Structure 1
Amino acid sequence: MRRVLAVGAGPEQLHPIRIAKAAGLEVAAVDRDPAAPGFALADISRPIDVADKAAVIAFARDLGVEAVLPAPIGRFLTTVAAVNAALGLRGIQPDAGAACADKRLAHGILSAAGVPVAAQAAIDGPEQLAAAVAAVGVPCVVKPTFGSGSRGVALCATADEVEAVAASGHIGPGEAWLVEAALQGTEYGVDAAIYAGVFTGLLVREKVMTPAPSRQELTYIHPARVPHEASAALAAVEGAARAIGLTDCLINADVMVDAAGRASLIEISGRAPGNNITTRIYPAIHGDDLITAALKALETGKPLPHPGEGRPVVFAFLPTPPGRVLSVGATPDTPGLLDIEVRLRPGDVLDVLRTGTDAMARGWLMATGRDSEEALANSRKALAALEIEIERL
């Protein structure tokens, strides 16, 4: 393998492009933005809208690309799959790519295959919300059919909260939205791979979430503190991956495990996990690079080896409350702190932490310990020692 394609050249693709270049591969990149940062790293660049599958396929065919770079972004998966199918490449294929991009389609496939999922109703505008909620019940989750990163997700505990969402303009007329019964239990992020037909579990991250009505991760805990729940989550993801038909790709999924140990699939996508997981968490736990391993699997056609459990690591976003930042103290020197990045500056005005974008704007830290509990305790010590003065507005 000598030439690979980056479908998209935005910030999420920078790490895969760098990894491919470091491996001696030639990178061709497409993005509709002529100023996309990945163009400066790629060997060959072309400003093409990645939604234009025919144009991307023609570009890839002319160059003779031999693989599409795995990247931690899901909205281009249908184009990635189209390129793989058109050029006969290993990787996610069109039917699976379509299911990963459309939560309603995925729900139907998983339900038919017997994979546990939440009750769901589709709506096309706020006037349909009340009937959908009556069908699935409360508490419920209102979310867009297409999208990721917790954008647009609202958790409603009561009918009054549903009415408030309907009246708020949160749902625009003519937009495709879903109403799902809110699953109860502990949420897990599962990162895995399926190459040469072999499913390999990589990480099962126990999550600590923001309070309702938002559903954004605040903390990842590895390894998960309840092993049988982690095993159930991993089994649910393998069942979902095979039902959707994922092939030769990395997998990122969310699972809820209830008090009885029953795992239900929330979402699944045939892509690399988010940038923090790919660039920071996975290397901190396993000591190597996930994109490198995926590229090797694409080249050789062999399964991704199981990396083992790795070391305990807790990744925590800074749970800074909304308001104006007045001051930011020095970096704490606390036990087990592996890394920290504070992105706040005096004068910044913070909204309520609702989405991944809000979390990244604040910053994050990673801590380790002899086990998950100690790593979590060390992360809390570091957060407590970090002095950030906020003026409430």
Structure 2
Amino acid sequence: MDKIPVALLIGASSESLIAIAYAKKLGLRVVAFDINPTAPGLKEADISYNEDISNPNKIIAILERDGLIPAIILPVPIGRCLNTIGALNDYYNLNGFSYKMADICTDKLKFATALADNGGLGSLRDIKFDIFDPNSNHNKLKFPLIIKPRFGSGSKDTIVISNLDELKNITQNIKFTKMNFLIEEFIDGLEYGIDAAIINGEFHHILLRQKLLTPLPYRQAIGYISIDEIPFISSYIQKVITKLNIDNCLLHADIITKDNRAFIIELSTRPSGHYLSKFIEITTGINPTKEWINKSLNLPYNFKPKFRKNTIIRYFDFEGDWIAADFDLLKDSLGIIDYRCEINSTLPKVIDGSTIMDRGYAIIQTNSKEQSLINTQKLISNFKRKIDG
């Protein structure tokens, strides 16, 4: 092999394509791994391996066998296999987060425990939690509460339980008896997504997004509204990353605020997924993925937002059979900046990230948050339900 620098890709979903294209533009050879043989990034990479990405030692063996030494691991939105990226960063001494950082962020029990145990300094989470035991006595529990898997992302299998009868029904579901779940206090407040970079232990705010959510009992985001940075939220996240020793990474976090207090739900050492990279760039002028690649290669970079536009990204959360709106007809009047619509089959109920992916989205920009919400609703009202016969 010649000495073209290698950009390693762990997880080659459609959301890796931005990183692949930019790495190629910079002259890097992209080497991709994914267990899914039809993953779009495998086709776009220069060298591809259809392999299990949960085993870093297997990946290291393949790279060494083929004489490939990574100069960078591309930032992509993946779940538990962030541990693999952390282990590879450690092994190759690359610019990026460690295995230890990834492990604490992908294990919700370790994450909650670390933030609750502050040596008498006070909890940084303040949400009561425990391992869910379907066979224990639940009569003393305070409702509502949340059940969520210890491992996983995208709100998968996350359910709000309102009373004891609902909880008893859950205990009859084989899924909740076989898997490792946590049970937590439910905080009823405003929920936000946060995009940032962590450099030398310091939090660098990029964008704060207020969530639009499914009705209970599920908590899947069906849209995000851009808002100005809220100082007490940024200050709180700085305390969290300092406590957990999170450093040298892009950051995606979910939090709830209530009564001017912040409660962290989860935090990941990766860019946000579900088409948010494009939304962030339209809203702030910054593409976190591209800037992190620049930083990792010692090229000029900038994570400071150039502006903050009033934008909203809305996913299509319909259930059943629908005919899409005429985007070409509506885009100028509603301020549709970008969209992708792939509604071509009967749609299931939206309960988590997997059930809303690959339908599409619309990004709308107006002169105010309120107008963006109004225009979004006008767009949604232009979708039509199919009538049989």
**CA deviation after TM superposition for structure 1 residue 275, in Å:** 3.5
Does residue 1:376 correspond to 2:385, yes or no? no
Name the counterpart of 1:160.
165
Query: Does residue 1:182 correspond to 2:182, yes or no?
Result: no
Pick from 354, 357, 363 the counterpart of residue 351 of structure 2.
Answer: 354
Instruction: Return the alpha-carbon distance in structure 1 between the equivalents of residues 63 and 117 of structure 2.
Output: 35
40-49 or 88-97, larger mean C-alpha shift: 40-49
Which of 112, 118, 123 is matched with 2:127 structurally?
A: 118
Amino acid at match of 1:220: Y
Q: Compared with structure 1, are the counterparts of its residues 112 and 296 closer, same or farther at alpha carbon in structure 2 (3 Å cutoff)?
A: same
Cα pair 1:205 1:223 within 8 Å, conserved: yes
Change (3 A) 1:134 1:251: farther
> How far did residue 196 of structure 1 move?
3.1
- 2:29 maps to 26
* CA distance in 2 between partners of 1:252 and 1:159 (Å): 33
Q: Distance in 2 between matches of 1:236 and 1:380?
A: 33
Instruction: Describe the shift of the 1:191–1:11 C-alpha distance in structure 2 as closer, same or farther (beyond 3 A).
Output: same
Return the letter of the residue paired with 1:210: T
Give yes or no for the alignment of 1:389 onto 2:388.
no
Aligned to 1:273: 272
Matched, 1:247 2:247: yes
> What is aligned with 1:330?
326
Structure 2 counterpart of 1:127, from 130, 135, 146: 135
Alpha-carbon deviations, 1:289-344, whole Å to 9, x = none?
22110111222298853124421111112242x3333x444235133222233322
Structure 1 residues 328 and 311: CA distance shift in structure 2, 3 A: closer
1:337-385 deviation line (CA, Å, top 9, x unaligned): 222333223xx3222221123223543211111122222222222222x
2:239 counterpart SS class: helix
Specify the alignment match of 2:262 in structure 1. Answer: 263
CA distance in 2, matches of 1:134, 1:216: 28
**Cα offsets for 1:209-258 (capped at 9, x unmatched):** 1110110112211015xx6xx33332222222222222211001100000
Deviation larger for 42-51 or 185-194? 42-51
Q: Does 1:6 align with 2:9?
A: yes
Matched residues in 2 for 1:54 and 1:383: separation?
A: 47
| Separation (CA, whole Å) in 2 of partners of 1:367 and 1:79 | 36
**Partner SS state of residue 264, structure 1:** strand
| Code of the aligned partner of 2:315 | F
Residue pairs, 1:57-136, within 5 angstroms: 57-60=60-63, 62-113=67-118, 114-123=123-132, 126-128=134-136, 130-131=137-138, 134-135=140-141
User: Contact between 1:196 and 1:303, CA under 8 Å: does it hold in 2?
Assistant: no
| Structure 2 residue 40 is matched with structure 1 residue 37 | yes
Residues 36/239 of structure 1: CA separation in 2 closer, same or farther (3 Å cut): same
Q: Which residue of 2 aligns with 1:149?
A: 154
Instruction: Name structure 1 gaps, 5 residues minimum.
Output: none
> Does the 8 A contact of 1:31 with 1:50 survive in 2?
yes
Instruction: Give distance in 2, aligned partners of 1:33 and 1:387.
Output: 33
Report the Cα offset of residue 389 of structure 1: 1.1
Deviation at 1:97, TM superposition (A): 1.0
User: Is the 1:223–1:309 contact (alpha carbons within 8 Å) kept by the matching residues of 2?
Assistant: no
1-structure distance, mates of 2:334, 2:102? 43
Structure 1 357/32 Cα, relative in aligned 2: closer, same or farther at 3 Å? closer
The one-letter code of the counterpart of 2:357 is: M
The Cα offsets for residues 251-293 of structure 1, whole Å up to 9 and x where unpaired, read as 01100000x1100100001011114111x21121123422110
Which deviates the most, 210-219 or 283-292? 283-292
TM-score (norm 1): 0.88
**1:193 alignment counterpart:** 197
Q: Secondary structure at the match of 1:30?
A: strand
Report the Cα distance in structure 2 between the residues aligned to 1:49 and 1:218, rounded to whole angstroms.
30
Amino acid at match of 2:282: A
Contact in 2 for aligned 1:197/1:303 (Cα 8 Å): no
| 1:53-93 deviations in Å (ceiling 9; x for gaps) | 21223344541211111001122111111111111111111
Q: Distance in 2 between matches of 1:146 and 1:12?
A: 21
What is the aligned residue count?
A: 376
- Mapped contact 1:237–1:268 kept (Cα < 8 A): no
CA contact (8 A) 2:171 2:177 kept: no
What secondary structure is seen at the aligned counterpart in 1 of 2:212? strand
| 2:198 maps to 1:202 | no
Q: Are residue 310 (structure 1) and residue 319 (structure 2) matched?
A: no
- Judge conservation of contact 1:253–1:267 (CA < 8 Å) in 2: yes
The one-character-per-residue Cα deviations of 1:18-41 (angstroms, maximum 9, x if unpaired) are: 221122211112223444332222
Q: Residues 317 and 373 (structure 1 numbering): CA distance in 2 closer, same or farther, change over 3 Å?
A: same
CA distance in structure 2 between the aligned counterparts of 1:96 and 1:356, rounded to whole angstroms: 24
Instruction: Find the residue that maps to 2:246 and give its secondary structure.
Output: coil
Q: What is the root-mean-square deviation in Å for CA atoms of aligned residues?
A: 2.3
Q: Deviations over 1:78-134 (max 9, x none)?
A: 1111111111111111211110110000111111243124111113x5324x54x84
Secondary structure of the 1:178 match is: strand
- The 3 A distance-change label for structure 1 pair 272 and 63 is same
3-state SS of 2:35 partner: coil
> TM-score scaled to structure 2, two decimals?
0.89
